[in-house]
Amino acid sequence: MFVALWSMSESPLEVREHFWAAIGQPQYILIGYQYNFYLLNNQEYFNEVQNRMPNYKWKTIKIEHLPHDYYLIGEKINP
């Protein structure tokens, strides 16, 4: 399981790509993120991540008490 609660979404894009290369294909992914961080649109970024990783079932959950924050949950689909 890979868990990144706001750490991934607050990292520069180059650092994020190193994370993805290092974690491989875990069974589960949990990422907490805010919609924007400085000038980065995290919503768009994590939508692109989902498109790049079609072997996961993805779900985005809005965090009610944090109006611009979300959880992104991925579960690897076994062939």
Which positions ≥6 away from 26 have C-beta within 8 Å? Answer: 1, 2, 76
pLDDT tens-digit profile of 17-47? Answer: 999 999 999 999 999 999 999 889 999 999 9
Determine the pLDDT at residue 79: 64
Which one, of 52, 58, 54, 5, lies nearest residue 28 by Cα? 58
Confidence of residue 52 (pLDDT cuts 50, 70, 90): very high
- What is the count of structural domains for the chain? 1
pLDDT bracket for residue 78 (50, 70, 90): confident
The residue segments making up the domain with residue 32 are: 2-76
H or E element: which one contains 40?
A: strand 40-41
